[in-house]
């Protein structure tokens, strides 16, 4: 009875999988926020290195992972794939549950899969400093780790509510030599404007993005880096799905269901795109790809598929995606990493086309699932990850009802060792189940910029 | 030094222990049944932690305040009202008037809903009032959770904030016959300590009640602006009042008013008035807030919103609003329309708008049919 399925270091993927090659038609282009015309590489040059801009629009199926990047990724990759025997037994399900365990990275999540190449390409182009935003601190700590390895300075705008309440990820950023600033801050014009409008604002990811983009655009030695949403980020994360597909092949298996949690979408993209590619190219037409999101920020399940800004202030291009509106400030849930108004344009497109689908849960039920997982498999997952756990458990329970021996794969994207206060709240019974009142919002909505 | 008016209703809660479900008008009966005063003990529990505080207490003689302060070992007080041997509601009201004349910053009282109503009669919203819970019924929102919690609030010094709290009137006769019929009597100001919900990742609960109300009002205003033809009935309360304010409408605080878009159509409607008004409307909406410390969405005291009115409006068209603070204090919400079938149609959970484009999912409790 094999529990861990491991790849050797030399079996680590040498190329990323670019799903844009297999889309039936090209993605709708990002639009300039003022002119509403498609943007070109020149519009992005001020804040991104050229290699990442190329990857953003590339339609080449495989893109080489630079040898330097592979060297760093080997610190923890290939990551293990687990068969969740104990969870299966507990659920009494005929289904097979596998999970890809990404908590083994130094930052404790899947985020370094993209922070490493992003820092690398910036370093190669002679950039000295990177500015970014972080919600709960997962991305900030991952980028702090990466920039340190390549000798870059790093400034991180951290959503204010997390900054004061989540001190440990901030401490990690400090250990890795990055500067962490609560957002909105007085350091940027957009931050000043948001504070003038509302001095008590808890901040949001959209606001922090505006500050980081402004910082990068107004300093010639500084670039911007985003931890999710964009095509090149999803691309870098495909190492997870590529490895998982290999690992499953080692035990002669292929998933019927692939599950990941969805905030900006790169975690779900990373685990599912290789399988989505198999679906698009007809190799495995029936694989069910499920993105799990919080009921409080239900972008895929209740958002509109339209062009919207990626940030609060309107510095970023308009992206065609599922969105709750760029001015939506999601409520304060524990899964801070899933609080984003929009979603990856590729994930959005695939959901819109029916290749993937979204589901949503309330936070108390996902903590129930996380507890079950911790008490069977031992791992205490991050609140974000617990959404994927809940999705997997529900699929396994459906199999129990229908007596189907499906193979379920989910991305166990990070540990919750810095999130114990969230578990404390769960046991204290103080978790609030937030909802997105979509019917009322539809009646009120006239705020998304109109694109002809 | 802060000046705080302090009074004890020495008979509060006596009826409860002897099965009278309230003491109003039944003090002699309660005494006959062997009831002993319990509020002095509860008042002491709130006073003892305040021995070293910077408060000067203005109080009443004997068991109406002085005795309790003395026993708690608090020297900083002055007796400003001479209470008779057997005190009544009039004494509560008179003492409060004197405290106000002496420029008390706040009134603390030990009692139940009846005492709260008497204090509110006299004080209104001129100064904040805080109840040390000692009554049989405490459905009003002005009570601290426990007597020591009242002390914590008073010790809070500069950190305390003020919120609106309902004073409700419970029909004691109906209550004795097993029916809880509460009517909203008014809104007092009450102190509280804004608190973060401890130990969360994104902890920002909206601690400021005014801010939370403004957010809710902004959202509901956008909904109303987005559907200008819909006749909307706004229920009582300060949250719905805030909605009206954002819409530029003057609303009655305690009544049900009807609006269409940003126009006031009718105010302070009774059930008949509502039914007449909505008779020919195709699309209707009701915006109500949660009333009382026990979390009533619709109680039997909400006589204006009868089962017939709810059926005509449609459950799906009822928007419930409440601030996060209020919701954190009311883990369960109640619906009692007086019609079990209709109660059941509300389901196990209800969505409550708690901020700008944010709602909470709350468990709904319905009385046994």
Q: What is the tens place of the pLDDT at every residue in B261-284?
A: 999 999 999 989 999 999 999 999
Residues A174 and A101 reside in one and the same domain: no
> What is the model's pLDDT at position A218?
94
Residues B147 and B44 reside in one and the same domain: yes
What single string gives the DSSP state of each residue in A26-39? Answer: PPPPPB-TTT-SBP
Of B192, B222, B240, the one marking the end of a domain is: B192
pLDDT of B249 above 90: yes
Percent of chain B exceeding pLDDT 70 equals 89
Residues A237 and A386 reside in one and the same domain: yes
> What is the model's pLDDT at position A445?
66
CATH code (residue B151): 3.40.50.10330
> Tokens 């695939």 sit at which residue?
A350
Q: Does A433 touch chain B (CB under 8 A)?
A: yes
Of A202, A421, A436, the CB nearest to B201: A421
Report if residue A58 sits inside a domain.
Answer: no
Which of A138, A158, A165 to mutate to probe the B interface, most B CBs <10 Å?
A165
Reported as half-sphere exposure (CB side, CA atoms, 13 A), residue A308 has a value of: 28
> What is the model's pLDDT at position B61?
95
Nearest CA in chain B to A203: B204
Residues B141 and B249 reside in one and the same domain: no
Whole domain around residue B283: which residue ranges?
Answer: 209-365
Residues of A in contact with B219 (CB under 8 A): 440, 444
Q: Does A165 touch chain B (CB under 8 A)?
A: yes
Report if residue A422 sits inside a domain.
Answer: yes
Of B202, B223, B327, the CB nearest to A440: B223
The average confidence (pLDDT) of chain B is 86
Query: Is the reported ipTM for this assembly greater than 0.90?
Result: no
Q: Cβ–Cβ of B204/A362 closer than 8 Å?
A: no
> What is the model's pLDDT at position B49?
93
Q: Cβ–Cβ of B358/A436 closer than 8 Å?
A: yes
- Rounded-to-integer distance, Cα B93 and Cα A378, Å: 62
Residues A220 and A235 reside in one and the same domain: no
Which of B200, B206, B356 to mutate to probe the A interface, most A CBs <10 Å?
B200
Report if residue A40 sits inside a domain.
Answer: no
pLDDT of B23 above 90: no
Report if residue B199 sits inside a domain.
Answer: no
Residues B69 and B153 reside in one and the same domain: yes
Residues A370 and A261 reside in one and the same domain: yes
Residues of B in contact with A433 (CB under 8 A): 360-362
Residues of A in contact with B331 (CB under 8 A): 429
Of A226, A260, A290, the one marking the end of a domain is: A226
Residues B184 and B234 reside in one and the same domain: no
> What is the model's pLDDT at position A332?
73
In this prediction, residue B179 has a pLDDT band, given cuts at 50, 70 and 90, of low
Of A208, A226, A244, the one marking the end of a domain is: A226
Nearest CA in chain A to B223: A444
Report if residue B201 sits inside a domain.
Answer: no
Of A191, A210, A226, the one marking the end of a domain is: A226
In this prediction, residue B199 has a pLDDT band, given cuts at 50, 70 and 90, of very low
pLDDT of B198 above 50: no
Question: How many structural domains compose chain A?
Answer: 2
Residues B154 and B6 reside in one and the same domain: yes
In chain A, which stretches have pLDDT less than 50?
447-448, 452
DSSP state of A7: -
In this structure, of A111-120, B293-302, B349-358, the range with the lowest mean pLDDT score is B293-302
Closest-CA residue to B188 (of B96, B256, B63)? B96
> What is the model's pLDDT at position A167?
83
Task: State the nearest Cα–Cα gap between A19 and chain B, in angstroms.
Answer: 34
Report if residue A48 sits inside a domain.
Answer: no
Report if residue B176 sits inside a domain.
Answer: yes
Residues B15 and B159 reside in one and the same domain: yes
> What is the model's pLDDT at position B200?
29
Residues B162 and B216 reside in one and the same domain: no
Residues A172 and A185 reside in one and the same domain: yes
> What is the model's pLDDT at position B326?
84
Residues A136 and A175 reside in one and the same domain: yes
Of B219, B225, B359, the CB nearest to A434: B359
Whole domain around residue A348: which residue ranges?
Answer: 69-108+231-444
- Report pTM: 0.82
Closest-CA residue to B322 (of B358, B347, B348, B349)? B358
Mean pLDDT of B113-120: 94
pLDDT of B205 above 60: no
For the CA atoms of B57, B61, B64, B69, what is the dihedral angle to 10 degrees? 40
Report if residue A20 sits inside a domain.
Answer: no
Report if residue B147 sits inside a domain.
Answer: yes
More confident residue, B317 or B306: B317
CATH code (residue A129): 3.40.50.1100
DSSP state of B185: E
> What is the model's pLDDT at position B171?
75
pLDDT digits (tens, 9 = 90+) for A178-202: 999 999 999 999 999 999 988 888 7
């Amino acid at each position: 009875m094999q529990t861990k399925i491991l790849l050797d270091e030399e079996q680590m993927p040498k190329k990323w999988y670019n799903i844009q090659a297999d889309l039936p038609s090209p993605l709708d282009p990002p639009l300039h926020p003022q002119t509403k015309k498609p943007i070109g590489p020149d519009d992005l040059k001020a804040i991104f290195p050229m290699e990442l801009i190329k990857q953003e629009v590339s339609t080449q199926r495989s893109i080489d992972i630079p040898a330097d990047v592979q060297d760093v990724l080997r610190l923890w990759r290939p990551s293990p794939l687990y068969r969740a025997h104990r969870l299966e037994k507990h659920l009494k399900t005929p289904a097979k549950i596998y999970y890809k365990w990404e908590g083994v990275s130094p930052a404790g999540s899947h985020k370094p899969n993209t922070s490493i190449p992003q820092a690398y390409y910036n370093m190669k182009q002679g950039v000295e400093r990177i500015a970014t935003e972080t919600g709960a601190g997962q991305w900030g700590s991952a980028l702090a780790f990466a920039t340190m390895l390549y000798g870059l300075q790093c400034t991180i705008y951290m959503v204010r509510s997390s900054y004061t309440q989540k001190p440990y990820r901030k401490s990690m950023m400090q250990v890795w030599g990055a500067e962490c600033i609560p957002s909105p801050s007085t350091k940027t014009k957009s931050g000043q404007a948001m504070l003038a409008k509302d001095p008590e604002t808890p901040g949001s990811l959209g606001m922090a993005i505006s500050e980081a983009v402004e910082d990068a655009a107004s300093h010639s030695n500084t670039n911007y880096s985003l931890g999710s949403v964009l095509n090149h980020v999803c691309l870098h994360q495909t190492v997870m799905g590529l490895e998982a597909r290999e690992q499953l092949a080692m035990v002669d298996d292929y998933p019927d269901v692939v599950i990941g949690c969805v905030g900006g979408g790169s975690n779900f993209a990373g685990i599912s795109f290789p399988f989505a590619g198999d679906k698009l190219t007809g190799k495995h037409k029936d694989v069910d790809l499920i993105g799990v999101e919080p009921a409080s920020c239900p972008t895929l399940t209740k958002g509109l598929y339209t062009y919207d800004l990626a940030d609060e202030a309107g510095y970023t291009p308009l992206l065609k995606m599922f969105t709750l509106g760029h001015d939506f400030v999601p409520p304060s849930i524990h899964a801070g990493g899933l609080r984003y108004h929009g979603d990856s344009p590729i994930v959005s497109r695939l959901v819109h086309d029916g290749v993937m689908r979204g589901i949503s849960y309330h936070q108390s039920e996902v903590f129930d699932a996380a507890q079950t997982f911790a008490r069977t498999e031992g791992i205490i997952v991050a609140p974000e990850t617990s959404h994927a756990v809940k999705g997997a458990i529900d699929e396994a329970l459906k199999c129990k009802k229908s007596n189907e021996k499906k193979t379920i794969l989910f991305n166990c994207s990070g540990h919750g060792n810095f999130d114990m206060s969230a578990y404390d709240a769960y046991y204290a019974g103080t978790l609030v189940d937030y909802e997105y009142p979509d019917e009322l919002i539809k009646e009120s909505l006239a705020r998304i910029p109109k694109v002809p | 030094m802060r000046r705080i008016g302090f009074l004890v209703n020495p008979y509060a809660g006596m009826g409860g222990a002897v099965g009278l479900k309230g003491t109003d008008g039944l003090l002699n009966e309660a005494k006959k049944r062997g009831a002993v005063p319990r509020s002095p003990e509860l008042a002491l529990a709130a006073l003892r932690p305040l021995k070293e505080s910077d408060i000067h207490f203005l109080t009443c003689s004997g068991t109406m305040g002085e005795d309790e302060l003395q026993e708690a070992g608090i020297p900083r007080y002055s007796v400003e009202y001479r209470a008779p041997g057997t005190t009544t509601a009039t004494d509560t009201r008179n003492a409060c008037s004197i405290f106000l004349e002496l420029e008390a910053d706040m009134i603390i009282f030990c009692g139940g809903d009846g005492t709260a109503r008497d204090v509110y009669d006299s004080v209104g919203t001129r100064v904040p009032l805080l109840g040390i819970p000692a009554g049989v019924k405490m459905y009003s929102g002005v009570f601290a959770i426990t007597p020591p919690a009242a002390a914590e609030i008073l010790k809070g010094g500069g950190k305390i904030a003020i919120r609106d709290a309902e004073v409700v009137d419970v029909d004691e006769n109906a209550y004795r016959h097993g029916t809880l019929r509460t009517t909203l009597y008014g809104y007092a100001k009450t102190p509280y300590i804004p608190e973060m919900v401890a130990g969360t990742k994104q902890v920002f609960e909206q601690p400021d009640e005014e801010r939370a109300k403004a957010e809710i009002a902004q959202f509901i205003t956008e909904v109303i602006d987005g559907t200008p033809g819909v006749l909307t009935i706004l229920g009582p309360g300060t949250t719905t009042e805030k909605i009206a304010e954002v819409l530029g409408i003057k609303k009655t605080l305690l009544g049900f008013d009807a609006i269409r878009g940003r126009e006031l159509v009718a105010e302070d409607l009774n059930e008949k008035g509502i039914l007449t008004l909505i008779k020919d409307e195709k699309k209707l909406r009701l915006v109500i807030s949660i009333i009382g410390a026990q979390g009533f969405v619709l109680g039997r005291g909400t006589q204006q919103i009868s089962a017939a009115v709810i059926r005509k409006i449609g459950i799906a068209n009822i928007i419930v609003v409440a601030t996060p603070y209020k919701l954190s204090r009311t883990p369960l919400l109640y619906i009692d329309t007086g019609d079990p079938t209709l109660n059941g149609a509300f389901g196990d959970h209800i969505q409550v708008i708690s901020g700008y484009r944010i709602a909470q999912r709350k468990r709904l409790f319905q009385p046994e049919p």
